[in-house]
Structure formats: C-alpha cells, structure tokens
Structure 1
C-alpha cells in the first residue's frame, strides 16, 4: 500500500505509530518477555513476536498535533457542550507542580462518554501535559477511533483474559509508557456506572503498572483520584434502561451523531474534583512492610476509590432526588420537599461534607429551581391546578433519579447502617446495648462490602461512634434499651436508612431468593440467573413486595453474586448448600424488613410533626 496516497497527515501518523511499535518491540525487556512466553506456550519466539507485533500495531498511539486538535476542538465540544465545568483550580495547580518531577496516572470515575473530554480540556486549559488515555476498542470506529489513536488514545480489547500474547503486549506497552514518564489515564470501573455510584474496580491495568515498578521497568508514578459529578446527564435514561434489562446500543457513527444531538441542550454543571495523589512506589513499599502479598493491587485500588469518594461533592440535585425517592409514589409540595432537604443539609454541614450549590437549597426558591430542572428533564413530574403544585418521580424514572442521588450516597451509608443497627434485636446474646448495635452494624457492613467502600474495621467502629454523637451527643447514656433507641430515632428530624439502603438490600434479596431456588447440584450460570433476577425483580416490584423500582439492577445483582461467591454459595455440591442459601435469603429478608421498619418510623415521625403543626 502506498501510504502517501492516503491523507498526508494520516499517513504520517501511521508511520509514526509503526515506529513506536518497533521501538517497544526492540527493547530487551520486551524480547525477554516474548521468549519466556514462547517457551511457556511451546511456540517459537518468532511466531509469538509476529503475533505480538500485530497486537502492538493495534494499540500503540501517538500524539499528533493535528489529531489532538481534532480531539479537543472537534470531538470535545460534541461531548461536553451540555455542561459548564466547575473544577478545583488549586488542585490542578498542585498537580501541575507535581508533574514536573513525577509522571501522573489519572484514575477518574466513569459516568459519561464526556468524562475524558472534560478532563482533557481542563488539563489543556491549565497548561498541563496531555494524557495517554486507555479505553475500550468498542470506540474504535471511524472517525472516532482514527482521531483517538492519533491523539494519545490507546484502544484495547474489552476482554482478553485467555489471550496470553495480547496480555503481554498490553502489559509491556504500559510498562514502556511508564518508563518514558508519560502521563496515563484510565477508568478503573471498567465502564460507565449505571447506578451513579462507584462500581467495583477492575485490577488488570493497575496490576501491569505495579509489575512494571516492581521489576524495575519504571520509576514511581503518582496515582491521581478524579471525581466527575454531573447535575444531570442526557445519557442516564438510556443507561438506566440498560441496567433494567434493555440491550446496549452498539457504538458506531450513527450512534455518535445521535449522542452529539442530545448534547445540544445545556443541563447544568459538571464538577471535577481531585483526591490526594498516591505514590505507587510508596504504596508498594508499605504493602511489602505490612505483608500485603497478593492483595496489594486490590488494596491500592481500594485506597484510590476511597480517595475518590472523599473528594466527591454532594450536589443539589442529589439531595432533592434523595428527598423525593424516600416517599415512593407520594407527591410532595414544594414546602414538603424543602422541609425534607433541610435536615440533609444540616447533616452535611455537621460532617463538613464537600458540596456544590447546596447553599441555594436553604431557600424554597433554590429547591424549586432544581425541581423545575428535573421536570424539564422528564425525571420529575409536577401536577398543577390544585391548591398547590406537587412533585413526584415520573413513572419509570426512578432509576434515573436514583443515579443522581447515588452520586452522593456514600456520604450517608454509615448513618443509614447505624439507624438499622439501633432497631436490630438479633444480637441479644451480647452484654450491652451498644455492643449489640455495633455487632449489627458490622453485620450490615459485611453484607454490603461488595457494594460500598468501607473503612477498615477499627476505623469503621469509630465512624459509627461519630455518627451516634451526631444523632445524640448523649447517645451512650440514652440508648440503654430497645425502647430508648426507638425513641432516639423517632426524635430525629429525618431518617435515611430506607432512602439509602433499601434499593440495594432489595436487589440482594432478589438474588438470594432466586439462588435459594436453584438446584444445589447444578452449576450456577450467572448470566441466566441475572436474567431471572431481572424478571422476578420486576414481578416483585409490580406486586409491591418490594418498594423500590431501582432495585432491578444488573450492576447491583452482580455485586450480590460476588457476595454469594464470597460466602461459597455458588459452588455446586458444597456442604449444607441448601441450608446456607436459605439462611442467606432469610438474612436478606430480615434486612428488607428492617428497612421497612425504619420507613414506618419515618412515616410516624412525619405524621407526629404534621399533627403538632396543626
């Protein structure tokens, strides 16, 4: 093929990418790895090298100024024009200074296709180095793939666990980039979150980077946690439908044109925040000292995700949807929504949580602005013509509203657990009331450990104590009996366990319920079981056996199956399997009832307040 017969810019980048591939393959490290793998596969080094070169040709990237401009000024606005970007300028200035001495690895949350374009724009506007962005080759179609691969994007196959040669290629190319002290970026969740909160991390790429440092192939790199939170997203409705069972649309040129059209209407702000950078070498040394072993990569990923959560702000739409989702199908007046939001604001203030735009919610007009924005988006419906306008979640939009609520839900999980623990009476064998409450809290922590990123046990205990002091400064003296604890809850300005945990506990119950119905001697087909959970979950919601439509969630079902696997409930023929599966279902049924009890207490609390106001 005559390369110069192509567009000269495209031809030049093809040549440049080929040169990079040859440079990587020529390193002693790469050739040694190829020879070692060839011996393991019982193939000739020449065969393995030839296949590796094909893989390298797929993934190597260059940063052509022309294509970088196409990425920034062509594709960028198509993806990002719906939002005004609100970023932490001081954190960016600090990262710019750190980048003078250290290579940076940006590890952002993944909520939207716009995420990398927003971060790229921020770095460019602040005079910072361009990242090499790793993503899936599902975005490799023309013209997106052509531009991305020539502007620093590395598009890799979505799955290659069984392809040892391709695995080597990705690992060694990543090590080579690290050795060149180039900045990297990838999304550890492995895909866009369908629920609005962090997904469990994928460890593969991080493990390759760890391997590069441990083997001396790269110096230290700073891991940079990045949180991107949106007031609203045009694509969230489609993602929610996929989460409930709809097929995912294939990414192609027609899809890109449609996506660009949806981004034309402005829908608020995108908030970009940066967590405390983490030295990868120091983290590895600390893990070696503590005897981290095979869990080292998992612990590092966990630390990054905790730092992401710590810098993620609470937004105004998150609190308003939080309030509306807590009353199921009941419509609320503006005054009622405002009243529901105020104690949430007080709680955020008491804990000094990071927030964006929360001060406007102190006034009814600020709450009304958010409600009107959600009405325009079709997430909330407003009924006018009566004595007052009333608002409720639009039919079929509960998962969309939950997406916005869940962006901040991690800040409220510990409080929700404490509320449930205070009502729990299954630990009466323990000596004192506080010991029973802490035991119940730890049981819930264990139940939800694949859903949320909890602190270690000692820290979690202190966090629960801090939550108890927010509930009542004299909690220890006043929580002596079950009746006392119930009275403490009734006197609170708001109860949140049913607003925070109900959808997740109900989703876990669906999985436990269907798992208990499976033959104990049959292998569990996770995909088939998930489809069954989707069907039965919708049935249970329609029957009002479960109260939260957003509990029908592929993503949450997957986390529940991870918990089941952790408890050895998926292996056919395991000892006492039928009894243990039923015990799991019973545990979740009790948790569902516990959440319902909190909801009933909240209803009683509101009723008493309304009666006192008359």
Structure 2
C-alpha cells in the first residue's frame, strides 16, 4: 500500500467513525456462511471505493474476521486481501470496466492454486450499501449504479446510520482452479460473475422499484380479466360502464399498499426501541436460507403462524434487520382504522375483506393485484390461519390466499415461487388474557385507536421473542411432483381453476402448516408450562420442575424433532429461574424448599404457551402414557397402538412423521426413554421404572386430555353408529364441556368444536366412517377399546354416566293402562 493510500485512509477514518453506523449481515458470518479462518480470505467488492473498503474493514474486525487492509502472505509472497471487480466511478461517469490490477490478482491466485494442491483461498463477496431505497417506476436513474465521490459524500451524510455490510457465501478458488484452469479468460469470467452477483445482492436488499399508485391502478384496470368482469357487471346490472370502473378503482384504493421506504427506515428505529422495551431479545433462526432465495431471484411468499397483532411488525422488522426487503402483507380489513391503517399501508400492508364470496368484481380485482405483486417481484406475506390462534395451537389453514398464489403462477410467472413457513413465538403474548375471555364467550372487540392506546400503556418487558424460518417449499417443484402437466393450464389472460387445484391446495396447506411446526422454538417458559400443566395439582417442587424440564431438554437434544426446531442452550436451573422471573407462577417457600404452582386463572393462560410446543412432545408423551397405562407391553404392541392413534395426532397437531417414518421414530424415542431410565426393557418387553415413575407420568400426562377427547367421540360412535356427522361433533363437544367442568380440565381447546371436526374428518379418511359417515363397527370398536384402556377409570365412568343420562332423555315416557 502506497504512502498516499495510507494517508487518505487515515483522513477518511475519522469522519466515517463519526457518521457511519454499520449493520453486518449475517451478524455471525463465521458460523452462518460458514467461514474457515484457517484458510486465506479474499474480500471481493463491487466497486473501487476507499470509503467502502474502510467501512468493510471496521465491520470485518468487529465480526472477528481478518482485516481486509492486512495483506495475505502465501508461500512468502504478499497479496492484497481485497479486490474490486469494477473501476471507481467519477463525476463524468464510469464504463464499469474490470480493473487490470484485479484481473492480474485473480490470475496470480489461480496460478498459485495450480502450483499448490493444498491451497484454497476463500473468495468472500462483500458489498457496502448506503441506504436501501429501491426507487420508483419510471425513474431514469438506475438504482443499482455505483456512486461517484460527491454522491458518496451525500449518501454518507444522509444514509450513514443505515449502512449495510452484506457478506455472501464464499467461492472456493481451489474449485475454480481445478475446474477451469488459470488463464486470463477464467479471471475475466470470475470478475463478471462477481458483478452479476452484486447486482442480485443489491436487488435482494432493496427490492424492485415501487409502483406509482395511479399507474398501478391504470395497469390493473386495463388488464383483460378486470376489463372483462367490469363489462359483464355493467351489462348484468344495467348500469354505465364508468360506474363499475369507479367501483373497481375504489376497491383498488381499499386494497392496495402504498409502500414507503422512508417510513420503513424510520419505522426500523421506532421498532428497535419498541422491541427493547418489550422483549429481552429477538431470536432469529435460519435467515440465511431466505437471503439465498432472495438473491437467487425467487418470488418469496412468507406464511407465518399467527399469535398476535405484533406478528405483522415483528416479521417485517426482522427481515429488514437481516438485510432483506419487508414484504407486502395481507392484513384484515379490520386493521384499516385511523391512524393504524394508513401507517400499515405505507409499511406494506394491503387489506383484504374477511369474505368476498359472490363478489366477482372484488375477487377479480384482488386476484389481479396479487398477481401484479408477484409479477413485479415483491415478496408477499399472509397468515394462512386467517386469524390469530386463541388456543396457542395452529389453526386449520384457510386456503383462499394459497389458491390465489397458485392461480398467479398459472398466469405464467417467469420467476420461481417459494413458500417460506415462519414460526413466530413469544414468552408473553399481549392478547392472551383477551383470548381466554373470548374463548369463554366474550365478543371479540373491534380493533380501534383506544384499544391501541390501552395496549401501549401496558408496555413492559415480555421476555424473549422467536422468529424461526422453516424449510422452504418451492412451488414450481411441488407442482411438478404433484401435477406434472400443470403448465398446460397456464393462461396469462383468463384466471384458471383446473380440477387439480383444490386437492393440491389442500395437501400443500397441510405441508405448509407442518413446516411451520417443524420450526418451533422452545424456551424456559413453555417447558415449565408443559411440566406444571401435566401435574394433577398444577404444582411441583423446584427440584421436580427442574428434573422434568431436564427430561424435556434431553429429548429435544438427543432425539431432535426436526432440523429446524430450536431449543435453549442455558442450564436447566437458569431456564427455570428465568421462567419464574416472568411473574406467571406462584412461588411458595417452606422448610423443604420452593413449590412452584399455577392458580386457576394462570393455568388457563399458560395452556396457550404449552400448546405452542405440545406437538414436539406428542409422540414421546404417547409412548410414556401407554407404558404407564399398561405397566408392561412388548415393543410390537407399542408400535400397533401408536400406529392406530398417530393419524389423529398427525392431523390435529400437524406432526411431521409420515407413516413410513413412524416405526423408526418410535424406536428412537423408546431408546431415549430407556437411556433416561424412565422405562425399562427386558427381552423386548417394555415396562415402567418405579424409581422414575414421577417424570414418566408427567411426560405421559401431556397427551392425556387429547386421548380423553378421542375416547368421548369413539364411545359416542360405538353407542350410536348411525349418528350424523354434525350431531357427532356437537354431542362430542357438549360431553367434553361436561367433563371439563366435572374434572377441572382447564384447557380451552379441550371442547373446541374445530378439534372435533378435525377428528371426525380423520375418522372418515382412516376408514372408521363409511361414505354415509356411519360407523364401521369392527374398527370403531377396536379403537374404542384401545382408548378405554388409556383413559382413567373416573373419566370412563363419567363418559358412560353422561351417555346413560342422554339415553334416558331420549326414551319415551312409560305409559300405564287404566
């Protein structure tokens, strides 16, 4: 490095240190990319810029990476640790040529690899983004250009606090040298590929240009689909064409987002303050896979679970923090109230009516708007459950938006479309007390300004928040597998609803919900809730509670539910202490130690957090429950019983194991319970371990209420095989309510009608009901007997007593002869 370069860098460092605040993406590049610090790293930058280089230097050192200003020494020869793939622009413009010095460096390094078979330099793409304003359609100035000196100065002054240092997965020069050689042509090609990469990287961070609102409406109004519906509506209603066009424009005004980069940028600062006020931390998992999808040019559709109104803000905030573009969000029309509606709209929300069945004009306008978002490359987010879960479990998906997504693909999109399931979890949901009241019959309060103000007054520390990105579902690939001929139905003008659409949408919805659950996050609060609610008295000593939480953690660590599921790394005692610090449990002290318990009201509220993760423990709980109920049985009998019950659990809780995977999953879990000494094995016979009966019973009790519900329905079906489907669901719900009151079952989902609807649907799918929805006697009797062995005697007696009482009500009164 020349003396002049050193001097200029020294002069630049002071103002940069004062004016620039960088965010490095990913935040832990060594782990997330991943990088090998024992191998040389060559930073590759898109444009020759000392400002960018110094900014990268500060960010690299803060991330524990080698300083790009420090040269590499390879076999006694010194090489720069950075390379630019384009000339520095000037105020007179730039032809974007690859600098001769960069081509020479690539050529020399490739030659060094040919001379040394052990050498492997990691080429690390690094770009410095000064703001992420995407620009507007119709602007002549390209948004992906480099900045000359004066422009860079203004950018630092205006956007220095919003500077993003973006690092990407490395390219192995060893691979390049082995595959392509080391001549000048390969060095040139390497530089050109890097330039394309940086263009995609900037587009992934800033997003496509934003539409001018009126131009967007004009495009939509001119679309063949809307034009046709407007004409037909005018004819059928015998009204002027302009009147229907005006209605269509009013609908567009009601629906369309008005995305504002400046609001998102300033909103990021507000939300940073808000999350610090609300939460002790936001934990993000698997963001790198989404960044890669964005950079590869995928149309991304985020499909998160829906716990709280906070979900809208949290996911957009996390995506912006992770260097991606906040999505356009499908929000319920109930949120379009002043002042929240205009703010949400400028933050990317587009509003959708709860129902538009029969309104052909509205459905066409909405579908065309959604297709426009996809065609222009804007990422989209919608909540497939349709509303917030009041019980903490995933709700059955509403498939309307998913169907419209596939229909948008049938317009002939050029880009691959990928669903990204997202698990969102909290240690405290602000609306949870309201949910409990609504489940007890209170009317849902309409969203309004006063409700927002009441919520803001309650702001306090709510523990941790979690955003886990699940395994993406590439829709093009999914359709190729399910409907190989789907491209034959592509029509860019008339939206199609081919016969295969509904069954494919339904199977895709189940897969999507399963992937959300696969990415669940456990924490100290949810694990403590799971343990305490499994105790008959909702109380455990601290020692028993820690022992049970340790049992859960060992199951999660030794038999991971899925690769995308996350669990805490803290010690058991620290997790329990943190959960107690959330002020949700009663702690009583006596001479023997602490007793941790839940009162009735908190028991009800804590079922919400237990239900967030209950699916992770459904299968091990069922194994434990069967062992406790039978005390001794063979592995083969264990497999048989679980094989009969599992389809119902899978459908209700969106469990991940297919029928072919189930035997191996059972054996792995049984082996783990044996390792923990919760059960014993002798000559392929499984039995309970009386010395560890406490933890085993608590583990088994997790699934108890679910099996009781199944027993209710199967007992009813056995007693009255020709019971109508609707009557079976209604009577099951009524009997569950009765059991809930008599036995103190304080879980709102225990008598949730939708749970019984799911159960009856699965009974039909599994062959327990015939085409008329009447019971198939032998399978129903067999399953009813199995369940009768797994519920307690008092529950069986109560079910029978209630049935007998109902039978007596239906019998005609006796008559006497006179």
Task: Find 1:445's aligned residue among 628, 632, 646.
Answer: 646
TM-score (norm 2): 0.60
Name the count of aligned residue pairs.
Answer: 559
Change in Cα spacing, 1:372 to 1:590, as seen in structure 2 (3 Å) is: farther
Task: Find 1:62's aligned residue among 229, 248, 258.
Answer: 258
Task: Find 2:666's aligned residue among 453, 464, 481.
Answer: 464
Cα distance in structure 1, aligned partners of 2:345 and 2:414: 23
Deviation of 1:442 (Å) = 2.1
Partner of 2:415 in structure 1? 219
Residue 736 of structure 2 is aligned to residue 540 of structure 1 = no
CA contact (8 A) 1:18 1:57 kept: no
Task: Find 1:117's aligned residue among 313, 338, 350.
Answer: 313
Gaps of 5+ in 2: 1-210, 487-499, 796-818
Task: Find 1:395's aligned residue among 588, 600, 604.
Answer: 600
Residue 400 of structure 2 is aligned to residue 199 of structure 1 = no
CA contact (8 A) 2:717 2:723 kept: no
Point out the structure with max Rg over C-alpha.
2
Instruction: List per-residue Cα deviations over 1:467-517 (Å, max 9, x = no partner).
Output: 233234899994778xx3334698675345543222333345566778899
Change in Cα spacing, 1:143 to 1:505, as seen in structure 2 (3 Å) is: farther
Instruction: List per-residue Cα deviations over 1:503-553 (Å, max 9, x = no partner).
Output: 3333455667788999978894899x49x937x545423322xx5310555
Change in Cα spacing, 1:550 to 1:438, as seen in structure 2 (3 Å) is: same
Cα distance in structure 1, aligned partners of 2:510 and 2:625: 25
Change in Cα spacing, 1:202 to 1:51, as seen in structure 2 (3 Å) is: same
TM-score (norm 1): 0.78
Task: Find 1:368's aligned residue among 574, 577, 585.
Answer: 577
Gaps of 5+ in 1: 1-14, 426-431, 600-614
Change in Cα spacing, 1:279 to 1:86, as seen in structure 2 (3 Å) is: same
Deviation of 1:408 (Å) = 2.0
Cα distance in structure 1, aligned partners of 2:445 and 2:778: 37
- Which segment is superposed worse, 264-273 or 237-246? 237-246
Residue 508 of structure 2 is aligned to residue 300 of structure 1 = yes
Partner of 1:550 in structure 2? 747
CA contact (8 A) 2:420 2:469 kept: yes
Change in Cα spacing, 1:126 to 1:330, as seen in structure 2 (3 Å) is: closer
Residue 346 of structure 2 is aligned to residue 346 of structure 1 = no
Residue 299 of structure 2 is aligned to residue 103 of structure 1 = yes
Residue 475 of structure 2 is aligned to residue 280 of structure 1 = yes
Deviation of 1:143 (Å) = 0.9
Change in Cα spacing, 1:227 to 1:485, as seen in structure 2 (3 Å) is: same
Deviation of 1:244 (Å) = 3.6
Classify the secondary structure of the residue corresponding to 2:661.
helix
Matches within 5 A, 1:319-334: 319-334=527-542
Classify the secondary structure of the residue corresponding to 1:128.
coil
Between the two structures, name the one with larger relative contact order (CA 8 Å, sep ≥ 6): 1
Cα distance in structure 2, aligned partners of 1:476 and 1:333: 23
Deviation of 1:447 (Å) = 2.5
Cα distance in structure 2, aligned partners of 1:347 and 1:131: 36
Cα distance in structure 1, aligned partners of 2:408 and 2:427: 38
Residue 463 of structure 2 is aligned to residue 268 of structure 1 = yes
Partner of 2:68 in structure 1? none
Instruction: List per-residue Cα deviations over 1:238-264 (Å, max 9, x = no partner).
Output: 2133234332222111111112222x1
Change in Cα spacing, 1:575 to 1:158, as seen in structure 2 (3 Å) is: closer
Cα distance in structure 2, aligned partners of 1:255 and 1:580: 51
CA contact (8 A) 1:450 1:560 kept: no
Instruction: List per-residue Cα deviations over 1:566-598 (Å, max 9, x = no partner).
Output: 5469xxx9988776799979956963751548x
Matches within 5 A, 1:31-180: 31-32=227-228, 46=241, 51-65=247-261, 67-68=263-264, 72=268, 81-88=277-284, 91-100=286-295, 101-180=297-376
Cα distance in structure 2, aligned partners of 1:504 and 1:245: 22
Instruction: List per-residue Cα deviations over 1:270-291 (Å, max 9, x = no partner).
Output: 0111123222111111212499
Partner of 1:309 in structure 2? 517
More helix by share: 1
